[in-house]
Protein backbone atom coordinates (compact mmCIF):
# COMPACT_ATOMS: atom_id res chain seq x y z
CA UNK A 1 0.00 0.00 0.00
CA UNK A 2 1.42 3.38 -1.01
CA UNK A 3 1.74 6.15 1.57
CA UNK A 4 3.29 9.58 1.53
CA UNK A 5 5.86 8.48 4.11
CA UNK A 6 6.72 5.44 2.03
CA UNK A 7 7.08 7.58 -1.08
CA UNK A 8 9.41 9.96 0.77
CA UNK A 9 11.50 7.01 1.98
CA UNK A 10 11.72 5.58 -1.52
CA UNK A 11 12.80 8.94 -2.88
CA UNK A 12 15.52 9.33 -0.25
CA UNK A 13 16.80 5.85 -0.98
CA UNK A 14 16.75 6.52 -4.68
CA UNK A 15 18.74 9.72 -4.23
CA UNK A 16 21.32 7.99 -2.03
CA UNK A 17 21.67 5.15 -4.51
CA UNK A 18 21.98 7.60 -7.39
CA UNK A 19 24.68 9.50 -5.48
CA UNK A 20 26.67 6.29 -4.99
CA UNK A 21 26.40 5.53 -8.68
CA UNK A 22 27.54 9.02 -9.55
CA UNK A 23 30.61 8.60 -7.33
CA UNK A 24 31.53 5.36 -9.06
CA UNK A 25 31.03 6.44 -12.67
CA UNK A 26 31.77 9.32 -14.99
CA UNK A 27 28.10 10.22 -15.33
CA UNK A 28 24.75 9.13 -16.69
CA UNK A 29 25.28 8.25 -20.33
CA UNK A 30 21.58 8.58 -21.06
CA UNK A 31 21.46 12.16 -19.83
CA UNK A 32 21.67 14.95 -22.41
CA UNK A 33 24.92 16.88 -22.21
CA UNK A 34 22.99 20.15 -22.41
CA UNK A 35 21.16 19.32 -19.18
CA UNK A 36 24.22 20.11 -17.08
CA UNK A 37 24.96 23.80 -17.11
CA UNK A 38 28.05 23.64 -14.92
CA UNK A 39 30.01 21.56 -17.41
CA UNK A 40 31.78 23.16 -20.40
CA UNK A 41 29.32 23.88 -23.20
CA UNK A 42 29.53 21.92 -26.42
CA UNK A 43 27.08 24.31 -28.09
CA UNK A 44 27.98 27.02 -30.59
CA UNK A 45 29.44 30.19 -29.09
CA UNK A 46 27.15 33.10 -28.33
CA UNK A 47 26.42 35.65 -31.04
CA UNK A 48 27.47 39.24 -30.63
CA UNK A 49 23.92 40.21 -29.62
CA UNK A 50 24.04 38.05 -26.48
CA UNK A 51 25.97 39.36 -23.49
CA UNK A 52 28.59 36.67 -22.68
CA UNK A 53 28.20 34.89 -19.36
CA UNK A 54 30.83 35.13 -16.69
CA UNK A 55 32.76 31.84 -16.59
CA UNK A 56 31.01 29.36 -14.33
CA UNK A 57 33.99 27.91 -12.50
CA UNK A 58 31.70 26.17 -10.04
CA UNK A 59 27.97 25.38 -9.98
CA UNK A 60 26.03 28.61 -10.29
CA UNK A 61 23.20 29.75 -8.05
CA UNK A 62 20.01 31.02 -9.69
CA UNK A 63 17.61 33.18 -7.74
CA UNK A 64 14.08 32.46 -8.97
CA UNK A 65 11.16 34.76 -8.10
CA UNK A 66 8.06 32.56 -8.14
CA UNK A 67 4.92 34.62 -7.49
CA UNK A 68 3.12 31.47 -6.34
CA UNK A 69 5.62 29.79 -4.01
CA UNK A 70 8.44 30.80 -1.74
CA UNK A 71 9.21 27.49 -0.01
CA UNK A 72 12.83 26.37 0.25
CA UNK A 73 13.96 24.49 -2.84
CA UNK A 74 14.81 21.31 -0.95
CA UNK A 75 12.11 18.70 -1.57
CA UNK A 76 12.98 15.46 -3.42
CA UNK A 77 12.08 16.82 -6.88
CA UNK A 78 14.00 20.04 -6.23
CA UNK A 79 17.03 18.00 -5.21
CA UNK A 80 16.75 15.93 -8.36
CA UNK A 81 16.50 19.06 -10.55
CA UNK A 82 19.67 20.48 -9.01
CA UNK A 83 21.42 17.14 -9.40
CA UNK A 84 20.55 16.79 -13.08
CA UNK A 85 21.37 20.40 -13.98
CA UNK A 86 24.24 21.19 -11.65
CA UNK A 87 22.48 24.42 -10.69
CA UNK A 88 21.65 25.56 -7.19
CA UNK A 89 18.24 27.26 -6.95
CA UNK A 90 17.09 29.79 -4.40
CA UNK A 91 13.40 30.67 -4.58
CA UNK A 92 11.97 34.05 -3.69
CA UNK A 93 8.34 34.97 -3.12
CA UNK A 94 6.72 37.91 -1.38
CA UNK A 95 4.77 37.46 1.81
CA UNK A 96 2.21 39.97 0.55
CA UNK A 97 0.99 41.05 -2.87
CA UNK A 98 3.32 39.79 -5.65
CA UNK A 99 2.51 42.88 -7.73
CA UNK A 100 3.79 45.17 -4.98
CA UNK A 101 7.01 43.18 -4.73
CA UNK A 102 7.49 43.24 -8.50
CA UNK A 103 7.01 47.01 -8.57
CA UNK A 104 9.45 47.49 -5.69
CA UNK A 105 12.06 45.28 -7.37
CA UNK A 106 11.73 47.21 -10.62
CA UNK A 107 12.01 50.58 -8.88
CA UNK A 108 15.06 49.53 -6.86
CA UNK A 109 16.77 47.56 -9.63
CA UNK A 110 17.34 44.73 -7.15
CA UNK A 111 16.26 41.87 -9.39
CA UNK A 112 16.62 38.10 -9.08
CA UNK A 113 17.91 36.03 -12.00
CA UNK A 114 14.56 34.62 -13.16
CA UNK A 115 11.19 36.26 -12.61
CA UNK A 116 7.67 34.87 -12.96
CA UNK A 117 4.82 37.29 -13.74
CA UNK A 118 1.12 37.07 -14.36
CA UNK A 119 1.16 37.18 -18.17
CA UNK A 120 -1.91 39.44 -18.31
CA UNK A 121 -0.42 42.00 -15.90
CA UNK A 122 0.77 45.40 -17.11
CA UNK A 123 3.80 44.94 -14.83
CA UNK A 124 5.23 42.53 -17.38
CA UNK A 125 5.16 45.24 -20.04
CA UNK A 126 6.77 47.69 -17.61
CA UNK A 127 9.68 45.32 -17.10
CA UNK A 128 10.12 44.80 -20.83
CA UNK A 129 9.81 48.50 -21.72
CA UNK A 130 12.23 49.40 -18.93
CA UNK A 131 14.88 46.95 -20.11
CA UNK A 132 14.66 44.85 -16.95
CA UNK A 133 14.17 41.65 -18.96
CA UNK A 134 16.65 40.58 -21.63
CA UNK A 135 15.63 39.30 -25.09
CA UNK A 136 15.76 35.51 -25.23
CA UNK A 137 15.83 34.86 -28.98
CA UNK A 138 19.58 34.30 -29.43
CA UNK A 139 19.82 32.36 -26.19
CA UNK A 140 16.98 30.08 -27.29
CA UNK A 141 18.47 29.52 -30.72
CA UNK A 142 21.84 28.52 -29.23
CA UNK A 143 21.03 26.90 -25.91
CA UNK A 144 17.32 26.08 -26.03
CA UNK A 145 16.63 23.29 -28.53
CA UNK A 146 13.98 21.75 -26.30
CA UNK A 147 12.39 25.16 -25.74
CA UNK A 148 12.12 25.57 -29.50
CA UNK A 149 10.62 22.11 -29.93
CA UNK A 150 8.16 22.32 -27.04
CA UNK A 151 6.92 25.88 -27.59
CA UNK A 152 6.80 25.88 -31.39
CA UNK A 153 4.53 28.65 -32.74
CA UNK A 154 3.86 29.92 -29.21
CA UNK A 155 7.21 31.73 -29.47
CA UNK A 156 5.92 33.68 -32.45
CA UNK A 157 2.71 34.61 -30.65
CA UNK A 158 4.38 35.84 -27.45
CA UNK A 159 6.79 38.24 -29.16
CA UNK A 160 6.84 41.83 -27.95
CA UNK A 161 6.05 44.72 -30.30
CA UNK A 162 9.72 44.87 -31.34
CA UNK A 163 9.48 41.27 -32.58
CA UNK A 164 11.57 39.77 -29.76
CA UNK A 165 10.78 37.22 -27.05
CA UNK A 166 11.32 38.47 -23.52
CA UNK A 167 9.62 35.62 -21.67
CA UNK A 168 8.48 32.03 -21.93
CA UNK A 169 4.89 31.12 -21.15
CA UNK A 170 3.85 28.93 -18.25
CA UNK A 171 0.78 26.67 -18.38
CA UNK A 172 0.71 27.07 -22.15
CA UNK A 173 -0.59 24.93 -24.99
CA UNK A 174 -4.09 23.89 -25.92
CA UNK A 175 -5.97 21.54 -23.64
CA UNK A 176 -8.54 20.09 -26.02
CA UNK A 177 -12.01 18.99 -24.95
CA UNK A 178 -11.69 20.57 -21.52
CA UNK A 179 -14.55 22.29 -19.71
CA UNK A 180 -14.32 25.59 -17.86
CA UNK A 181 -17.59 27.36 -17.03
CA UNK A 182 -21.06 25.88 -16.84
CA UNK A 183 -24.16 25.63 -14.65
CA UNK A 184 -23.22 23.43 -11.70
CA UNK A 185 -26.40 21.73 -10.43
CA UNK A 186 -27.20 19.00 -7.92
CA UNK A 187 -27.71 15.88 -9.94
CA UNK A 188 -30.18 14.27 -7.52
CA UNK A 189 -32.56 17.22 -7.94
CA UNK A 190 -32.06 17.39 -11.71
CA UNK A 191 -32.94 13.69 -11.86
CA UNK A 192 -36.09 14.41 -9.91
CA UNK A 193 -37.28 17.52 -11.77
CA UNK A 194 -35.82 17.02 -15.27
CA UNK A 195 -34.99 13.31 -15.57
CA UNK A 196 -34.62 13.45 -19.36
CA UNK A 197 -31.78 15.97 -18.99
CA UNK A 198 -30.00 14.48 -16.00
CA UNK A 199 -27.37 12.49 -17.89
CA UNK A 200 -26.22 15.60 -19.76
CA UNK A 201 -26.43 14.07 -23.23
CA UNK A 202 -28.75 16.85 -24.43
CA UNK A 203 -28.27 20.44 -23.21
CA UNK A 204 -31.02 22.49 -21.63
CA UNK A 205 -32.67 25.18 -23.73
CA UNK A 206 -33.09 28.57 -22.07
CA UNK A 207 -36.79 27.91 -21.48
CA UNK A 208 -36.16 24.41 -20.09
CA UNK A 209 -33.54 25.80 -17.74
CA UNK A 210 -35.87 28.52 -16.50
CA UNK A 211 -38.64 25.96 -15.97
CA UNK A 212 -36.28 23.78 -13.95
CA UNK A 213 -35.45 26.70 -11.68
CA UNK A 214 -39.13 27.56 -11.24
CA UNK A 215 -40.01 23.93 -10.49
CA UNK A 216 -37.27 23.86 -7.87
CA UNK A 217 -38.62 27.01 -6.24
CA UNK A 218 -42.13 25.53 -6.10
CA UNK A 219 -40.98 22.16 -4.78
CA UNK A 220 -38.35 23.34 -2.33
CA UNK A 221 -39.20 26.66 -0.65
CA UNK A 222 -36.92 25.50 2.16
CA UNK A 223 -33.99 23.10 2.42
CA UNK A 224 -32.24 22.08 5.63
CA UNK A 225 -34.50 24.48 7.52
CA UNK A 226 -33.40 27.50 5.49
CA UNK A 227 -34.91 29.43 2.60
CA UNK A 228 -33.82 27.80 -0.63
CA UNK A 229 -32.99 29.54 -3.90
CA UNK A 230 -32.49 27.96 -7.28
CA UNK A 231 -29.21 29.78 -7.94
CA UNK A 232 -26.51 31.50 -5.95
CA UNK A 233 -23.32 33.16 -7.18
CA UNK A 234 -19.86 34.06 -5.89
CA UNK A 235 -20.04 37.81 -5.33
CA UNK A 236 -16.26 38.11 -5.63
CA UNK A 237 -16.00 36.38 -9.01
CA UNK A 238 -18.07 38.27 -11.56
CA UNK A 239 -15.84 36.87 -14.27
CA UNK A 240 -17.12 33.36 -13.61
CA UNK A 241 -20.73 34.45 -13.15
CA UNK A 242 -20.94 36.55 -16.29
CA UNK A 243 -18.63 34.18 -18.16
CA UNK A 244 -21.06 31.31 -17.64
CA UNK A 245 -24.06 33.23 -18.93
CA UNK A 246 -21.97 34.61 -21.81
CA UNK A 247 -21.12 31.03 -22.74
CA UNK A 248 -24.82 30.25 -22.98
CA UNK A 249 -25.23 33.02 -25.59
CA UNK A 250 -21.99 32.32 -27.49
CA UNK A 251 -20.41 35.65 -26.49
CA UNK A 252 -16.65 36.21 -26.61
CA UNK A 253 -14.15 38.68 -25.16
CA UNK A 254 -15.18 41.48 -27.51
CA UNK A 255 -18.07 42.31 -29.79
CA UNK A 256 -16.56 42.09 -33.28
CA UNK A 257 -18.20 43.81 -36.24
CA UNK A 258 -16.48 43.91 -39.65
CA UNK A 259 -13.12 43.19 -38.04
CA UNK A 260 -13.50 45.98 -35.47
CA UNK A 261 -13.57 45.20 -31.75
CA UNK A 262 -15.89 46.84 -29.25
CA UNK A 263 -16.54 46.18 -25.57
CA UNK A 264 -18.66 43.06 -25.22
CA UNK A 265 -21.48 45.01 -23.57
CA UNK A 266 -22.12 46.67 -26.94
CA UNK A 267 -23.31 43.34 -28.36
CA UNK A 268 -27.14 43.16 -28.55
CA UNK A 269 -26.85 39.56 -27.30
CA UNK A 270 -25.14 40.85 -24.17
CA UNK A 271 -28.18 42.94 -23.30
CA UNK A 272 -30.38 39.89 -23.94
CA UNK A 273 -28.15 37.86 -21.64
CA UNK A 274 -28.11 40.35 -18.76
CA UNK A 275 -31.87 40.85 -19.03
CA UNK A 276 -32.31 37.10 -18.71
CA UNK A 277 -30.29 37.20 -15.50
CA UNK A 278 -32.49 40.05 -14.30
CA UNK A 279 -35.62 38.06 -15.11
CA UNK A 280 -34.37 35.14 -13.02
CA UNK A 281 -33.65 37.54 -10.18
CA UNK A 282 -37.09 39.19 -10.39
CA UNK A 283 -38.72 35.75 -10.20
CA UNK A 284 -36.93 35.06 -6.94
CA UNK A 285 -34.72 32.39 -8.49
CA UNK A 286 -31.38 33.96 -7.51
CA UNK A 287 -30.21 34.41 -3.93
CA UNK A 288 -30.80 38.14 -3.25
CA UNK A 289 -27.66 38.22 -1.08
CA UNK A 290 -25.36 36.84 -3.80
CA UNK A 291 -23.54 40.13 -4.44
CA UNK A 292 -22.51 40.31 -0.77
CA UNK A 293 -21.26 36.73 -0.61
CA UNK A 294 -17.51 36.43 -0.28
CA UNK A 295 -15.96 33.29 -1.66
CA UNK A 296 -15.92 31.53 1.71
CA UNK A 297 -19.61 32.25 2.29
CA UNK A 298 -20.47 31.14 -1.24
CA UNK A 299 -18.68 27.82 -0.72
CA UNK A 300 -20.38 27.41 2.63
CA UNK A 301 -23.77 27.95 0.99
CA UNK A 302 -22.96 25.39 -1.67
CA UNK A 303 -21.84 22.93 0.98
CA UNK A 304 -25.10 23.39 2.87
CA UNK A 305 -26.94 22.29 -0.30
CA UNK A 306 -29.61 25.00 -0.01
CA UNK A 307 -29.37 25.75 -3.72
CA UNK A 308 -30.01 23.87 -6.92
CA UNK A 309 -26.97 25.32 -8.59
CA UNK A 310 -24.37 27.99 -9.24
CA UNK A 311 -22.58 29.24 -12.35
CA UNK A 312 -18.82 28.96 -12.63
CA UNK A 313 -15.93 26.52 -13.01
CA UNK A 314 -16.60 22.99 -11.82
CA UNK A 315 -13.25 22.68 -10.06
CA UNK A 316 -14.11 25.52 -7.68
CA UNK A 317 -16.65 23.22 -6.00
CA UNK A 318 -14.12 20.52 -5.15
CA UNK A 319 -14.35 20.77 -1.36
CA UNK A 320 -18.16 21.10 -1.11
CA UNK A 321 -18.61 18.25 -3.57
CA UNK A 322 -16.25 16.01 -1.62
CA UNK A 323 -18.22 16.62 1.56
CA UNK A 324 -21.60 16.16 -0.14
CA UNK A 325 -20.45 12.88 -1.69
CA UNK A 326 -19.23 11.57 1.66
CA UNK A 327 -22.48 12.52 3.34
CA UNK A 328 -24.98 11.34 0.74
CA UNK A 329 -23.41 9.72 -2.28
CA UNK A 330 -22.29 10.68 -5.77
CA UNK A 331 -25.60 12.14 -6.97
CA UNK A 332 -25.63 14.71 -4.16
CA UNK A 333 -22.78 16.56 -5.86
CA UNK A 334 -22.98 19.53 -8.22
CA UNK A 335 -22.44 18.47 -11.84
CA UNK A 336 -21.88 20.85 -14.73
CA UNK A 337 -24.63 21.28 -17.32
CA UNK A 338 -24.88 23.20 -20.58
CA UNK A 339 -27.69 25.65 -21.30
CA UNK A 340 -28.16 27.03 -24.82
CA UNK A 341 -29.79 30.35 -25.70
CA UNK A 342 -32.23 30.63 -28.62
CA UNK A 343 -30.56 30.75 -32.03
CA UNK A 344 -27.19 29.54 -30.71
CA UNK A 345 -25.59 26.35 -32.04
CA UNK A 346 -24.81 24.16 -28.98
CA UNK A 347 -21.35 23.50 -30.43
CA UNK A 348 -20.72 27.25 -30.70
CA UNK A 349 -21.45 28.10 -27.10
CA UNK A 350 -18.43 29.71 -25.43
CA UNK A 351 -18.30 28.21 -21.95
CA UNK A 352 -14.64 27.24 -22.28
CA UNK A 353 -12.37 30.25 -22.91
CA UNK A 354 -8.75 29.09 -23.01
CA UNK A 355 -5.47 30.68 -24.02
CA UNK A 356 -2.70 28.59 -25.54
CA UNK A 357 -0.32 31.40 -24.58
CA UNK A 358 -0.36 30.51 -20.90
CA UNK A 359 -1.20 32.02 -17.54
CA UNK A 360 2.28 33.13 -16.47
CA UNK A 361 5.37 34.65 -18.08
CA UNK A 362 8.90 33.70 -16.99
CA UNK A 363 11.84 35.88 -18.02
CA UNK A 364 15.56 36.40 -17.36
CA UNK A 365 16.45 39.70 -15.70
CA UNK A 366 19.19 42.06 -16.82
CA UNK A 367 20.96 41.39 -13.51
CA UNK A 368 21.55 37.74 -14.39
CA UNK A 369 25.32 37.16 -14.65
CA UNK A 370 24.97 33.75 -16.30
CA UNK A 371 22.31 34.04 -19.05
CA UNK A 372 23.72 31.17 -21.12
CA UNK A 373 23.82 28.76 -18.20
CA UNK A 374 20.38 29.99 -17.15
CA UNK A 375 18.95 29.21 -20.59
CA UNK A 376 20.42 25.70 -20.40
CA UNK A 377 18.72 25.31 -17.03
CA UNK A 378 15.43 26.57 -18.50
CA UNK A 379 15.86 24.28 -21.49
CA UNK A 380 16.00 21.28 -19.17
CA UNK A 381 12.90 22.32 -17.23
CA UNK A 382 10.95 22.97 -20.43
CA UNK A 383 11.98 19.67 -22.03
CA UNK A 384 9.92 16.49 -21.91
CA UNK A 385 12.38 15.13 -19.37
CA UNK A 386 12.08 18.19 -17.18
CA UNK A 387 8.30 18.37 -17.47
CA UNK A 388 8.00 14.70 -16.54
CA UNK A 389 10.16 15.26 -13.48
CA UNK A 390 8.18 18.33 -12.38
CA UNK A 391 4.70 16.94 -13.01
CA UNK A 392 5.12 13.16 -12.64
CA UNK A 393 8.15 12.77 -10.39
CA UNK A 394 10.73 10.04 -10.78
CA UNK A 395 10.32 6.71 -12.50
CA UNK A 396 10.17 3.89 -9.98
CA UNK A 397 9.18 6.31 -7.24
CA UNK A 398 5.86 7.81 -8.33
CA UNK A 399 5.33 6.15 -11.73
CA UNK A 400 6.39 3.25 -13.92
CA UNK A 401 6.35 2.57 -17.66
CA UNK A 402 3.72 0.06 -18.82
CA UNK A 403 3.26 -0.71 -22.49
CA UNK A 404 5.31 2.34 -23.34
CA UNK A 405 3.19 4.74 -21.23
CA UNK A 406 3.72 6.40 -17.88
CA UNK A 407 1.49 4.88 -15.21
CA UNK A 408 1.20 6.08 -11.59
CA UNK A 409 2.41 3.57 -9.04
CA UNK A 410 -0.28 2.12 -6.74
CA UNK A 411 -1.41 4.56 -4.10
CA UNK A 412 0.15 7.68 -5.61
CA UNK A 413 -3.09 9.16 -6.90
CA UNK A 414 -4.92 8.15 -3.72
CA UNK A 415 -2.39 10.15 -1.72
CA UNK A 416 -3.10 13.26 -3.80
CA UNK A 417 -6.85 12.76 -3.45
CA UNK A 418 -6.61 12.20 0.30
CA UNK A 419 -4.36 15.17 1.12
CA UNK A 420 -3.20 17.15 -1.88
CA UNK A 421 -1.15 19.75 -0.02
CA UNK A 422 0.67 17.22 2.14
CA UNK A 423 1.50 14.99 -0.81
CA UNK A 424 2.80 17.87 -2.91
CA UNK A 425 4.94 19.10 -0.03
CA UNK A 426 6.41 15.72 0.87
CA UNK A 427 6.99 14.36 -2.64
CA UNK A 428 7.70 17.57 -4.56
CA UNK A 429 5.57 16.29 -7.45
CA UNK A 430 3.66 19.20 -9.05
CA UNK A 431 5.09 21.63 -6.53
CA UNK A 432 7.32 23.59 -8.90
CA UNK A 433 5.07 24.28 -11.87
CA UNK A 434 7.48 26.02 -14.23
CA UNK A 435 7.29 26.18 -18.05
CA UNK A 436 4.34 23.79 -17.84
CA UNK A 437 2.84 22.63 -21.10
CA UNK A 438 -0.75 21.40 -21.22
CA UNK A 439 -2.24 18.48 -23.10
CA UNK A 440 -0.59 15.10 -23.52
CA UNK A 441 3.01 14.03 -23.96
CA UNK A 442 4.64 11.83 -26.63
CA UNK A 443 3.30 8.67 -24.95
CA UNK A 444 -0.25 10.08 -25.17
CA UNK A 445 -0.61 10.39 -21.40
CA UNK A 446 -1.51 13.66 -19.71
CA UNK A 447 1.38 15.85 -18.68
CA UNK A 448 -0.44 16.59 -15.39
CA UNK A 449 -0.56 13.28 -13.53
CA UNK A 450 -1.97 14.44 -10.19
CA UNK A 451 -4.83 16.51 -11.58
CA UNK A 452 -5.72 14.86 -14.88
CA UNK A 453 -4.65 11.23 -15.04
CA UNK A 454 -7.60 9.79 -13.15
CA UNK A 455 -10.50 12.19 -13.56
CA UNK A 456 -13.34 12.01 -11.08
CA UNK A 457 -17.00 11.67 -12.00
CA UNK A 458 -17.59 15.45 -11.83
CA UNK A 459 -14.65 16.11 -14.17
CA UNK A 460 -15.73 13.45 -16.64
CA UNK A 461 -19.29 14.74 -16.68
CA UNK A 462 -18.13 18.31 -17.33
CA UNK A 463 -15.92 17.16 -20.20
CA UNK A 464 -18.85 15.24 -21.69
CA UNK A 465 -21.35 18.06 -21.42
CA UNK A 466 -19.13 21.08 -22.10
CA UNK A 467 -15.93 19.79 -23.67
CA UNK A 468 -17.10 21.00 -27.09
CA UNK A 469 -17.69 24.56 -25.86
CA UNK A 470 -14.06 25.60 -25.73
CA UNK A 471 -12.65 28.45 -27.78
CA UNK A 472 -9.16 29.92 -28.04
CA UNK A 473 -8.82 33.49 -26.75
CA UNK A 474 -5.24 34.13 -27.92
CA UNK A 475 -6.00 36.87 -30.45
CA UNK A 476 -7.96 38.87 -27.86
CA UNK A 477 -5.72 38.53 -24.80
CA UNK A 478 -4.12 41.66 -23.30
CA UNK A 479 -5.10 44.12 -26.02
CA UNK A 480 -5.80 46.99 -23.65
CA UNK A 481 -3.70 50.10 -23.05
CA UNK A 482 -0.19 49.68 -21.66
CA UNK A 483 0.55 50.47 -18.04
CA UNK A 484 1.62 54.02 -17.31
CA UNK A 485 -0.40 55.53 -20.16
CA UNK A 486 -3.39 57.89 -19.66
CA UNK A 487 -5.60 55.40 -21.48
CA UNK A 488 -5.01 52.71 -18.85
CA UNK A 489 -6.80 54.94 -16.34
CA UNK A 490 -9.73 55.34 -18.74
CA UNK A 491 -9.85 51.57 -19.26
CA UNK A 492 -9.95 51.00 -15.50
CA UNK A 493 -12.72 53.56 -15.09
CA UNK A 494 -14.75 51.88 -17.83
CA UNK A 495 -14.25 48.52 -16.13
CA UNK A 496 -15.33 49.95 -12.78
CA UNK A 497 -18.48 51.35 -14.38
CA UNK A 498 -19.30 47.95 -15.84
CA UNK A 499 -18.59 46.03 -12.64
CA UNK A 500 -20.70 48.35 -10.50
CA UNK A 501 -23.61 48.65 -12.92
CA UNK A 502 -24.02 45.04 -13.99
CA UNK A 503 -24.83 44.01 -10.42
CA UNK A 504 -27.52 46.72 -10.32
CA UNK A 505 -28.92 45.51 -13.64
CA UNK A 506 -29.15 41.91 -12.42
CA UNK A 507 -30.81 42.92 -9.15
CA UNK A 508 -33.18 45.56 -10.60
CA UNK A 509 -36.77 45.24 -9.38
CA UNK A 510 -38.32 45.83 -12.82
CA UNK A 511 -37.33 45.18 -16.42
CA UNK A 512 -37.63 48.90 -17.12
CA UNK A 513 -35.22 49.74 -14.30
CA UNK A 514 -32.76 47.10 -15.57
CA UNK A 515 -32.79 48.56 -19.09
CA UNK A 516 -32.36 52.11 -17.77
CA UNK A 517 -29.36 51.04 -15.71
CA UNK A 518 -27.84 49.28 -18.71
CA UNK A 519 -28.35 52.31 -20.97
CA UNK A 520 -26.80 54.58 -18.35
CA UNK A 521 -23.81 52.25 -18.11
CA UNK A 522 -23.15 52.52 -21.84
CA UNK A 523 -23.51 56.32 -21.69
CA UNK A 524 -21.19 56.59 -18.67
CA UNK A 525 -18.57 54.42 -20.35
CA UNK A 526 -18.66 56.58 -23.45
CA UNK A 527 -18.39 59.74 -21.35
CA UNK A 528 -15.38 58.25 -19.56
CA UNK A 529 -13.61 57.75 -22.90
CA UNK A 530 -14.31 54.10 -23.73
CA UNK A 531 -14.04 54.84 -27.46
CA UNK A 532 -10.41 55.93 -26.94
CA UNK A 533 -9.74 52.60 -25.28
CA UNK A 534 -11.45 50.71 -28.10
CA UNK A 535 -9.23 52.57 -30.59
CA UNK A 536 -6.12 51.33 -28.78
CA UNK A 537 -7.57 47.82 -28.52
CA UNK A 538 -8.06 47.73 -32.29
CA UNK A 539 -4.58 49.11 -32.95
CA UNK A 540 -3.07 46.39 -30.77
CA UNK A 541 -5.31 43.80 -32.40
CA UNK A 542 -4.11 44.68 -35.90
CA UNK A 543 -0.49 44.82 -34.72
CA UNK A 544 -0.87 41.36 -33.23
CA UNK A 545 -2.40 39.88 -36.36
CA UNK A 546 0.46 41.37 -38.40
CA UNK A 547 3.07 40.10 -35.94
CA UNK A 548 1.61 36.60 -36.10
CA UNK A 549 1.79 36.33 -39.89
Where are the alpha helices (H) located in 98-230, listed in sequence order?
98-108, 122-129, 137-143, 145-151, 154-157, 187-193, 206-219
Neighbours of 159 (CB within 10 A): 16
Cβ(361)–Cβ(116) under 8 Å?
yes
pTM score of the predicted model: 0.80
> Residue 50's pLDDT is what?
42
The pLDDT, as a whole number, for residue 22 is: 36
Q: What is the largest CA-CA distance in the chain?
A: 82
Output the pLDDT for position 305. Answer: 83
Neighbours of 198 (CB within 10 A): 18
* Pairing verdict, β 352-354 and 470-472: parallel
Return the SS3 of 130.
coil
SS3 assignment, position 214: helix
Is the CB of residue 102 less than 8 Å from the CB of residue 123?
yes
pLDDT at 262: 98
186: nearest Cα among 338, 306, 77, 47: 306
On whether the CB atoms of residues 529 and 496 are closer than 8 A, the answer is no
C-beta of residue 11 within 8 angstroms of C-beta of residue 427? yes
3-state SS record for 276-295: HHHHHHHCCCECCCHHHCCH
Confirm if 172 and 461 have CB atoms less than 8 A apart.
no
- Side-chain half-sphere of 26: how many Cα atoms within 13 Å? 2
Q: What percent of the chain has pLDDT over 90?
A: 80
Residues 6+ apart with CB under 8 A from 441: 384, 387, 388, 406, 447
| C-alpha dist (Å) from residue 59 to 25, 33, 54, 66, 479 | 19, 15, 12, 21, 41
Q: What is the pLDDT of residues 316-325, one digit of tens each?
A: 998 899 899 9
Cβ distance 242 to 253 under 8 Å?
A: no
pLDDT tens track for 277-300: 999 999 999 999 999 988 999 999
Percent of the chain with pLDDT strictly greater than 70:
90
Q: Is the pLDDT of residue 458 over 80?
A: yes
Name every residue whose Cβ is closer than 8 Å to that of residue 119 and which is 6 or more positions away in sequence.
167, 169, 170, 357, 358, 359, 360, 361, 478
pLDDT tens-digit profile of 69-87? Answer: 878 999 999 999 999 999 9
311 vs 147: CA distance, rounded Å: 38
Rounded Cα distance, 256 and 524, in Å: 21
Residue 59, Cα to own-chain centre: how many angstroms? 34
The answer to whether 63 and 90 are in contact (CB under 8 A) is: yes
* 46 has a pLDDT exceeding 70: no
Residue 404: pLDDT above 80? yes
Beta bridge partners of 471: 353
How high does pLDDT run on average in the chain? 89
CA-CA distance, 156 to 216, in Å (whole number)?
Answer: 51
Residue 93 CB contacts under 8 Å (≥ 6 apart), including other chains: 65, 66, 67, 68, 69, 70
Q: Are 420 and 12 in contact (CB under 8 A)?
A: no
Q: How confident is the model at residue 97 (pLDDT cuts 50, 70, 90)?
A: confident
Which of 49-63, 104-118, 121-135 is predicted least confidently? Answer: 49-63
pLDDT tens for each residue of 151-205:
999 999 999 989 999 999 999 997 778 899 999 999 999 999 999 999 999 999 9
Per-residue pLDDT at 25 exceeds 70: no
Rounded CA separation 195/243 (Å): 27
Range from 27-36, 168-177, 450-459 carrying the lowest mean pLDDT: 27-36
DSSP symbol at 153? T
Look at residues 52, 123, 39 and name the one whose alpha carbon lies nearest to residue 86: 39
Query: What string of H, E and C letters represents the secondary structure of 339-404?
Result: EECCCCCHHHCCCEEECCCCCEEEEEECCCCCHHHHHHHHHHHHCHHHHHHHHHCCECCCEEEECC
Mean per-residue pLDDT for 308-314?
97
pLDDT band for position 364 (50/70/90)? very high
What pLDDT is stored for residue 175 in this prediction? 74
The pLDDT of residue 525 is above 90 = yes
Of the pLDDT bands very low, low, confident and very high (cuts 50, 70, 90), residue 2 is: very low
d(CA 169, CA 151): 9
Round to whole Å and give the CA distance between 198 and 187: 7
**CB neighbour list of residue 49: distance below 8 Å, 6 or more residues apart:** 135, 138
Q: What is the spatial distance between Cα 315 and Cα 310, in angstroms, rounded to a whole number? A: 12
pLDDT for position 57:
62
229-271 residue pLDDT tens: 999 999 999 999 999 999 999 999 999 999 999 999 999 999 9
Q: Could you tell me how many residues make up the chain?
A: 549
Radius of gyration of the chain (CA): 26
pLDDT category at 371 given cuts 50, 70, 90 is very high
pLDDT, position 54 = 52
- pLDDT bin (cut points 50, 70, 90) of residue 120 is confident
Mean pLDDT across 32-46: 34
Amino acid sequence: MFSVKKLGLVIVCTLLFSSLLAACSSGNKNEKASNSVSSPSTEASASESVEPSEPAKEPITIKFFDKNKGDPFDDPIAQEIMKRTGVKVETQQPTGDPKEKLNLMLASGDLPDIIMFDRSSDILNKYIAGGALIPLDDLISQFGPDVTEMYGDILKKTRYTDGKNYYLSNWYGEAKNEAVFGFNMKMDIVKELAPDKANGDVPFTKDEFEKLLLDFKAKYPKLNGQTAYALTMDGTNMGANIGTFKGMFGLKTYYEVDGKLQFDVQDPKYREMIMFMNKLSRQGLIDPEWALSKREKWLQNIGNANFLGTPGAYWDLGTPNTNLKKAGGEDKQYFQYKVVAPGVDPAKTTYGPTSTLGWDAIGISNKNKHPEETMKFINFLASEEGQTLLMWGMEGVSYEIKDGKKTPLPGVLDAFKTDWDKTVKETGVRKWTWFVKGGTGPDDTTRDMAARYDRGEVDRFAIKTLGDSGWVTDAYDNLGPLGGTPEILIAQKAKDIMDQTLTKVINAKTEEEANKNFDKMLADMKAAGSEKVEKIINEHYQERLTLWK
